[in-house]
Structure 1
Amino acid sequence: MAQDPVFVPADAEANKETHVEAGHKNTAVAEVDSSQSDTSSQRATQPVPLSWKLASVVLVTCIGFGSKWSSGVTGAMKSTMKKELNINNTQFSILEASEDFMVTALMMLSGVVTDRIGGAGAMLYGNAIYSVGSILVAAAAQTRSYKFMIGGRVISALGDIATQVAQYKVFSSWFAPNNGFASTLGFELGIGKIGAFAGKASANIIAERTGDFAWVFWVAVFMNIFTNVMTGVFYWFTRLANRKYHGIDDPATGEKLQEKSKKLHFKKVLQLPWSFWTVMAFSLFQTSTAVVFLQNATELAEQRFKTSSITAGWYSAVLQYAGFFVVPLLGVFLDLFGQRISALFFCGVGVFASMLLVCFSDNVKGTAASFGIFAFSYCFGPTTIIDSTRTSMWDSTVFGSAYAVKITMNNAMNIIVRVVTGRIQDADNNSYDKVTIVYVILAGCSVVVSLGLTLISWKSIDLRHLQWSRSKRIARGAELNERRELFFGVNKAKNMRTSLICFGVLIALVLGSWCAYFWGVATGNNG
């Protein structure tokens, strides 16, 4: 049966050439004997069939659906939780930031470990820990204990830390840039939006119909049980796949894609390329804008639309996730045509326009329009950022660590923004009139960064290749290899200094977020 030439590894080609030469020198019988003796080595380099790759995507997507469902619950329940737990906006922000705090403390270590042990193993134990945390959160809701709920969120964060990196690490080892990675991301994130929509839209309905908001969190526990079952199936699937198939190469550069390494690569982690850090600069502002806005969208809809929490939950869920069908299409587009920086710029401008409407148009029409623009524009963010992160790297073996850097940075920024906006909102009598100014500033910064990326890409191939299509990337693969050799060769010392400076800024951001978190804990209870 013919194989797709895109996925044939270099070793398989070498074996093929060896057998051809042997055929010229030996008899047909000897050739058959030779091929039989090399059966095990051929199997070891046999490329993974497309059907197996698609099966892995489906399994990871099922896992993501359950986790995204749970993640959509808390934001939708903000007004209800403040009432039932007798807390203010600052205390609610601390509850959300508790998970962010654990991520900033442990995510980097988790990324390095995931690169070592592989994504499937990390997902298995991570989801188990997350489920324990979700049970504690549900119990805290049942007993109406705010401090107990913080403890539960911390435990669930330990599991979430392991799983956030793991699933994308798996994708990076099965698909190369411009060769299925973005399409896979798009499909998984699109289904994840449906899961988040289901959780957010149903949360207040469950709370009202059952008469106890704790049932919302118990339903989340049941969803986590489903997630654990699917994770177990995926772990078995990947072990079977690793025994049967090996040797996936990047069709453009020939780089061998791997799910796990033989050792921990701390030095490589400290040598991430400058193009990677420019993508992080965009994510720093855009992702934080989106996360904090989504946290407060339901309550904002309640105030602006003057409606119940159930109706507001439906409004915010529909308007925020209605663009779920765009995400898979975007993934296919990025794989075929590239244009990642252009997509980032479009996302930044769209979210900025949305935040301007939220800030300066407090009527029903203006708020509805801002939600609609946000829903569509935000669809261009996560897939493009993750795909750009992967494409900007010269060594895929530390992609898990690189993605951990992104998550650490985003969560550190989220803590600062959440605590600050919570205090602003409390001081403004729970209004969204002043706090939305912060949203505008953050979104405006993402536009400035994306414009800078566009200008730099015209001059530097290290960033410009993020715009390349599949055919162009394959055609210019040798040029990419040359840049990679320069990065690890002549320019190694310079690149190391640049990366260490960026890591220094990241550490300062993390320490600043910890100060904001503990300041919020110290002052929030008196708010």
Structure 2
Amino acid sequence: MATPLQNVLSDEKNPVVRVAGSPSDEDSNLEDSRTDEDPITKPIPWTYKWIALACVIAFPIGQNWINASLGPLKNTLREELDITNAQFGVIASADSFINSVFPILGGMILDWWGPNPITICCTVIIFIGSVIAAAAIHISAWRVLVAGHIVMGFGIAILDQAQQKFIYHWFGAGGLAFAFGLENALSSTVGLVAGMVAIPIKNGTGWYGWTFWVPAFFCCGSMLINIAYVFFERTFIPKQFRLTSARAKAVAKSHGLNVKRTWSWDSLLNLPWQYLMLPGTQILQSGGANGFGVSAADMIRMKGYKEQTAGFMTTGQKVIRIVGAPIIGWLIDKYGYRFHLVALAPLVYILANSLIGFTNAHPLVALVFQSIAGLINGMPLNVSIPLLVADQDKLGTAFGVWRAFNNSGATIMEVVYGVVQDGTEAMGYGRVLTVSSSIKAVGFFIGLFYVFVDYKKLGRGITMTRNERERREAEIEDRDSDPLTRRRVAKPWTIYTLSALVAMIATSWTLFLKYLS
């Protein structure tokens, strides 16, 4: 019996998924039915691009602030709320917990209705969740704090997917990595500021609850920016440059008739194997990276540093991401080698874990390597997804599956790390870091597998530079037969990936609910 991989590597008989630049005959007769796969005859003016990007990257500012504050406040929350490390893991993973399922449905809704109305709903939900989380501090109820993070989680995942769609629409495959780099730089800047001021706010006001109310105000600001963006796009941007929803395209194609029939699960079941290869093999890799990241401040505190100093160190290393994210994005666009970076990142993670846990090296050295690892791991994968899906109408669903895998893995490992630490003498982090390093060691070989598949089955499309890829695509006559642009569905690989996702979701929910009670 053939394995999913064997079926993938011999996929000639599998159905073809239409990719960029290959519109159907039905589309060509419609005056107003331009799809996002079809090339825009006129380039989008850079003024529109920059205004849109400035708004879009500001949507999750408040949520990023809240997440960045949790790490420095870990010891405070344990004392004030009388919780264990496993229960802190429940708090830290609450938004990931709910988003082990919701991003898939949310991604399909996003593709169908378009991102504008959905993002407004998301920022409103995040604001409500942030208020619940801040209110929980007043009554010292950690489960209410968890509830606030769960509510925020309903908005976070879809908002992230919408950002990916927006950026891909405005910048295309060419400037994708650079635009993602700017988005990561802003997120890191917010994380830097939030983490550095968490303990000073607590000490300066005499109450740690203000570290939860401040981001609630930022969530309100993000909501207002989102509304302003939608108004700007609907009012000032010409129609031909707007991101068109799948529903709007269906209305155009059917002249408003039987539009409901076009809604189906096809966007989930017809994702190409070239994309499903990523979530189907990453599994716990996102959680493996969190062994160091979430608890870095507490690790440094246990080495004899003051809590405030530890908070400054862990957030100060975000300067590397602020400066490095746009640079890495520009380098990826210019030189390519995305999967090579994915293979390199686990080795840097292991080095960072070893330095912080098993040597007397200054913690900043480990933090620098951990930050570099995050840069060269996450961005290459994110910018590869649109290239591997190559269909704007499936991109929200694709990012939904990706988020579901990542959030399930993060939830599982956050709770596992807490349990492992609680069972370690003096609640040390030695075993936690060993588990994390073992997972990332597997990640190194997964990265090598990606490089092999790229060279053998993807026409080196993920290795190529932006200019080289654009030149090669211009020379392709039959996009459905060239490995660079061909996107096919491999049913065995689809079944395997979705089955693995169901198993991970079931495991994450079981662990979360067990340690919530």
> Normalising TM by the smaller chain, what interval?
0.7 to 0.9
Paired amino acid for 1:224: C
Post-superposition shift, 1:131? 0.5
Question: 2:272: which partner in 1?
Answer: 273
Question: 1:301: which partner in 2?
Answer: 300
Against the structure 1 CA distance between its residues 64 and 100, is the aligned structure 2 distance closer, same or farther, given a 3 Å change threshold?
A: closer
Paired amino acid for 2:399: Y
Indicate conservation of the 8 Å contact 2:165/2:392, yes or no: no
Indicate conservation of the 8 Å contact 1:65/1:194, yes or no: no
Q: Distance in 2 between matches of 1:386 and 1:459?
A: 21
Moved more, 68-77 or 409-418: 68-77
Q: Distance in 2 between matches of 1:46 and 1:386?
A: 26
Post-superposition shift, 1:491? 8.8
Indicate conservation of the 8 Å contact 2:287/2:411, yes or no: no
RMSD over equivalenced CA pairs, Å = 2.7
Q: Determine helix, strand or coil for the equivalent of 1:299.
A: helix
Pair 1:337-2:332 in alignment: no
Question: 1:349: which partner in 2?
Answer: 347
Post-superposition shift, 1:170? 1.1
Paired amino acid for 2:149: R
Against the structure 1 CA distance between its residues 165 and 159, is the aligned structure 2 distance closer, same or farther, given a 3 Å change threshold?
A: same
Against the structure 1 CA distance between its residues 419 and 293, is the aligned structure 2 distance closer, same or farther, given a 3 Å change threshold?
A: same
Against the structure 1 CA distance between its residues 282 and 318, is the aligned structure 2 distance closer, same or farther, given a 3 Å change threshold?
A: farther
Question: 2:17: which partner in 1?
Answer: none
Q: Distance in 1 between matches of 2:450 and 2:246?
A: 31
Q: Distance in 2 between matches of 1:116 and 1:359?
A: 47
Q: Determine helix, strand or coil for the equivalent of 1:104.
A: coil
Q: Distance in 2 between matches of 1:358 and 1:265?
A: 49
Against the structure 1 CA distance between its residues 452 and 436, is the aligned structure 2 distance closer, same or farther, given a 3 Å change threshold?
A: same
Pair 1:369-2:368 in alignment: no
Q: Distance in 2 between matches of 1:145 and 1:408?
A: 28
Q: Deviations over 1:343-366 (max 9, x none)?
A: 2123222112212323422x2x15
Residue number among 63, 69, 89 corresponding to 1:67 in the alignment: 63
Q: Distance in 2 between matches of 1:310 and 1:282?
A: 39
Moved more, 182-191 or 45-54: 45-54
Question: 1:29: which partner in 2?
Answer: none
TM-score, normalised by the number of residues in structure 1? 0.83
Post-superposition shift, 1:394? 3.3
Post-superposition shift, 1:226? 1.4
Indicate conservation of the 8 Å contact 2:69/2:195, yes or no: yes
Indicate conservation of the 8 Å contact 2:111/2:246, yes or no: yes
Residue number among 394, 397, 408 corresponding to 2:393 in the alignment: 397
Pair 1:173-2:169 in alignment: yes
Higher relative contact order (CA 8 A, sep 6+): 2
Paired amino acid for 2:275: F
Residues 1-12 of structure 1 mapped to structure 2, 5 A cutoff: none
Question: 1:33: which partner in 2?
Answer: none
Q: Distance in 1 between matches of 2:246 and 2:355?
A: 46
Paired amino acid for 2:376: F
Question: 2:124: which partner in 1?
Answer: 128
Q: Distance in 2 between matches of 1:148 and 1:413?
A: 23
Question: 2:494: which partner in 1?
Answer: 499
Question: 2:114: which partner in 1?
Answer: 118
Against the structure 1 CA distance between its residues 266 and 321, is the aligned structure 2 distance closer, same or farther, given a 3 Å change threshold?
A: farther
Moved more, 334-343 or 49-58: 334-343
Indicate conservation of the 8 Å contact 2:61/2:219, yes or no: no
Question: 1:202: which partner in 2?
Answer: 197
Q: Which structure is higher in helix share?
A: 1
Q: Distance in 1 between matches of 2:477 and 2:499?
A: 29
Question: 1:23: which partner in 2?
Answer: none
Residues 187-198 of structure 1 mapped to structure 2, 5 A cutoff: 187-198=182-193
Question: 2:146: which partner in 1?
Answer: 150
Pair 1:221-2:216 in alignment: yes
Against the structure 1 CA distance between its residues 480 and 466, is the aligned structure 2 distance closer, same or farther, given a 3 Å change threshold?
A: farther
Question: 2:289: which partner in 1?
Answer: 290
Indicate conservation of the 8 Å contact 1:285/1:445, yes or no: no
Paired amino acid for 2:404: T
Question: 1:21: which partner in 2?
Answer: none
Q: Deviations over 1:218-263 (max 9, x none)?
A: 1111111111111111111222355x14168xxxxxxxx7555445
Question: 2:436: which partner in 1?
Answer: 439
Indicate conservation of the 8 Å contact 1:107/1:161, yes or no: yes
Against the structure 1 CA distance between its residues 379 and 481, is the aligned structure 2 distance closer, same or farther, given a 3 Å change threshold?
A: farther
Question: 2:509: which partner in 1?
Answer: 514
Indicate conservation of the 8 Å contact 1:120/1:238, yes or no: no
Q: Determine helix, strand or coil for the equivalent of 1:76.
A: coil
Q: Determine helix, strand or coil for the equivalent of 2:456.
A: coil
Q: Quick check: which has more Rg, 1 or 2? A: 1
Against the structure 1 CA distance between its residues 397 and 485, is the aligned structure 2 distance closer, same or farther, given a 3 Å change threshold?
A: farther
Q: Distance in 2 between matches of 1:10 and 1:289?
A: 39
Q: Distance in 2 between matches of 1:467 and 1:84?
A: 50
Pair 1:473-2:472 in alignment: no
Residue number among 434, 446, 451 corresponding to 1:449 in the alignment: 446
Q: Distance in 2 between matches of 1:332 and 1:260?
A: 31
